[in-house]
Amino acid sequence: MQRRSCIRSFTVLVAATALAVPALTGAASARERGPDGAPSEPQPLARLFDNRAVSDDARPGSADFDGAGRSLSAQDLRAAGWRPGARLALDGAALRWPDRRPGQADNVRADGQLVRLRGRGNAVSFLVAATSPDGAAGPVRGTGTVRYADGSRSTYDLAAEDWRGGGLATKALALPHINTRDGGRLTEQAKLYAVTVPVTRGRTVSSVELPRDPGPLSDLHVFAAGVRGEAAGWTGTWSASTGGYADTGGWRDQTLRLVVHTSAGGSRARVRLANTFAASPVRIGHASVAVQRQGAAARGKPVPLTFGGRAGTRIPAGAEAFSDPVGFEVPPDANLLVSIHLPDPVRAAPVHSKAIQRSYLSTAGSGDRTAERGGGSFTGSLSTWPFLTGIDVRGEPGSVVALGDSITDGVRSTQGANRRWPDVLARRLQGQRDVPRYGVLNHGISANRVTSDRYPGDGVSTDTAGVSARNRLERDVLGQTSARTVVLFEGINDVRWGASSSEVIAGMRDIAARARERGLRVVAATVTPCGGYHDCTAEVDRKRREVNAFVRQSGGAFDAVLDFDAVVRDPAAPERMRAAYDSGDHLHPGDTGLKALADSIDLRELTP
């Protein structure tokens, strides 16, 4: 794969294979299967379409997704930006919504079909949904095969949640209603899911055999498929997790100027914008990047960003967009300004709520200010990061992802000083040459949990504590640019809010297994004490110690362990934090405690 923008490379790769949609409306012919019913020659996915999922609201009987006359609304899909043939970047993979009119065949019911795909990467991504009787909860599962150009094969397990009864936390898109064949509407949400499965790295995928029919009562439907390519030659230098979808108060023709802090440096850059959890598309008029001088002022003239060669882009609901690579010298350990012009009214936005950093906003109706070097137009301030989820730099060896809660997020560290423990770790990595100088990506979310969701995964909410670490793993770790290692440091919120230690342990095992399956090194940290905090009871501490006993003696579940508990606990009262490390609330370390966590890490443990 050529060393270009990740998303652009995907587009070139898949447009001529499985995601190209010829003008066919029927299912594959019998010659595409051998005499024993087994797949014969690989076919483009669109040639295999045998089911009609989408109907026009005026003609709801033209489609029957689930065998009971129910279907997705074409109008709802268009309102979400999922128009026929729309390119969708989901969790780092480029897919294309079928280029079909309402009432035409637009998906295939998986039953061992052989789909033509080609490319190298770290996963195959499927856009799927299951149909089950009465929208029964629980995923529909099946086993398929990835075939490689060298003749080798690997198997995969694919699980798709039901389009009616499935959860919202992991959906790619939720639509507000369902059409019925008699012209009525069901006021329940229809859901679609992006699911990835692992491939053997370094081998070229040539085709994918879909799972067999799961049985007479359920179907697993595939709308799109593609290889998620490796982001060769790119390193994530900064990123943040989307924790929810928040009311903006009504932005109108304004420019955001967001302040973020780099880890690794490089001579070229690109940014990632995401419309996570949204129900409608967002239009980006212009965007730029610059090194911060002071406040909202740039050190030099901001460098304009383009998207597919254009000044702006439109991001469908639930999707993301990478800018084109731009020549721009990104210093390590420095503040950048990413400016985003929003020409249309924006009433809600996906946000990371605890930026611990002041960003800026121009006045309503002030228009495009992305090219301004000075900060005079930016009279408002923000304490969140809306839309912006990542910055990559050219070169460097890849990234370490810190997956955690408020302690990783930096809550109660000094505002604007970049003293979160991942920031300190990044400076340590950049200042040595014994191990690769990885970028560090902070995916901590305040109040986040391993096992259960705080934010439900859909709708405008004041709760921006995110879906669970398990449910955001694909987006926040596996889909991150050149992720090499994940540090899992989470669990205190689970045991404080009712989860058992066994539930937390099961969640940690699942996260570790899925990450290792994708080739990542998994490093787990013990949970730090919180004695003295208002709800950190003796029972909470008992569960915390049980989780830590598992982490220390996990029997190979993790590749390495960081004993953060031992670093910060008070030897005289091990259920509490040392006073010198305590921010004052007895739950969150202050700047000194966060530095102690980062300084305790043997950097060799981060290296695969």
Residue range 301-354, pLDDT digits in tens: 999 999 999 999 999 999 999 999 999 999 999 999 999 999 999 999 999 999
Q: How far apart are CA 451 and CA 469, in angstroms?
A: 7
Side-chain half-sphere CA neighbours of 483 within 13 A: 30
Location of structure tokens 């669109």: 46
Q: What is the pLDDT of residue 39?
A: 55
What was the pLDDT predicted at 18? 33
Q: How far apart are CA 275 and CA 266, in angstroms?
A: 26
Within the chain, what is the greatest distance between any pair of CA atoms?
76
Residue pair 461/244 in contact by the 8 Å Cβ criterion: yes
Token pair listed for 364: 């309503």
- Give pLDDT, residue 210: 98
Cβ 38 vs Cβ 147: under 8 Å:
no
218/233 Cα distance (integer angstroms): 42
Alpha helices in 304-403 (DSSP H): none
Contacts of 229 (CB under 8 A, 6+ apart): 1, 6, 9, 10, 13, 119, 120, 121, 122
Report whether 362 contacts 369 (CB < 8 A).
Answer: yes
Count of H helices and E strands in the chain? 10, 39
User: Is the Cα dihedral 19, 21, 25, 31 positive or negative?
Assistant: negative
The pLDDT tens digits for 544-578 are 999 999 999 999 999 999 999 999 999 999 999 99
Among residues 447, 425, 468, the alpha carbon closest in space to that of 605 is found at 425
Q: 142-162: string of b/e by CB count within 10 Å (b at 16+)? A: bebbbbbeeeeeeebebbbbb
Sign for the pseudo-dihedral over CA of 460, 462, 465, 468:
negative
Q: Are strands 123-131 and 219-228 parallel, antiparallel or unpaired?
A: antiparallel
Residue 140 forms beta bridges with which residues? 160
User: pLDDT tens digit string along 435-489?
Assistant: 999 999 999 999 999 999 999 999 999 999 999 999 999 999 999 999 999 999 9
Distances (CA, A) of 144 to 157, 208, 213: 6, 7, 11
Instruction: Identify whether the C-beta of residue 82 lies closer than 8 Å to the C-beta of residue 314.
Output: no
Please report the domains of the chain, with CATH numbers, ordered by start residue. 6-228 (no CATH), 250-386 (no CATH), 397-608 (3.40.50.1110)
How many beta carbons lie within 10 A of that of residue 141, not counting itself?
14
Q: What type of residue sits at position 325?
A: P
**Where is 190: in which H helix or E strand?**
strand 190-198
Q: What is the dihedral of CA 46, 50, 56, 59, to 10 degrees?
A: 150
335-349 burial string, b = 16+ CB within 10 Å, else e?
bbbbbbbbbeebebb
Which among 489, 479, 574 has a CA at the least distance from the CA of 525?
Answer: 489
SS3 at position 11: helix
Give the pLDDT score at 181. 95
CA dihedral sign, ordered 348, 350, 356, 357: negative
Which segments in the chain show pLDDT lower than 70? 1-39, 137
Q: Tell me, what's the pLDDT at 182?
A: 93
Tell me phi and psi for residue 467, to 5 degrees: -75, 165
305 strand-pairing partners: 287
* pLDDT for the residue 133: 84
E runs forming strands in 199-280: 205-209, 219-228, 234-239, 244-251, 254-261, 266-274
Residue whose C-alpha is closest to residue 163's, from 280, 245, 76:
76
Nearest residue to 526 (alpha-carbon basis) of 504, 551, 543, 546:
551
Pick from 40, 22, 18: nearest CA to 31: 40
Contact 268, 335 (CB under 8 A): no
Kindly state the helix (H) or strand (E) to which residue 596 belongs, with its residue range: helix 591-599
Beta strands in 445-532 (DSSP E): 483-489, 521-525
Q: Are 270 and 395 in contact (CB under 8 A)?
A: no
Q: Which residues pair with 336 in a beta bridge?
A: 260, 291
Q: How far apart are CA 49 and CA 108, in angstroms?
A: 4
pLDDT value at residue 38: 52
Token pair 């909202």 is found at 296
Strand, helix or coil for residue 117: strand
- The predicted pLDDT at position 219 comes to 96
Burial of 182 (0-12, 13-18, 19+ CB in 10 A): exposed
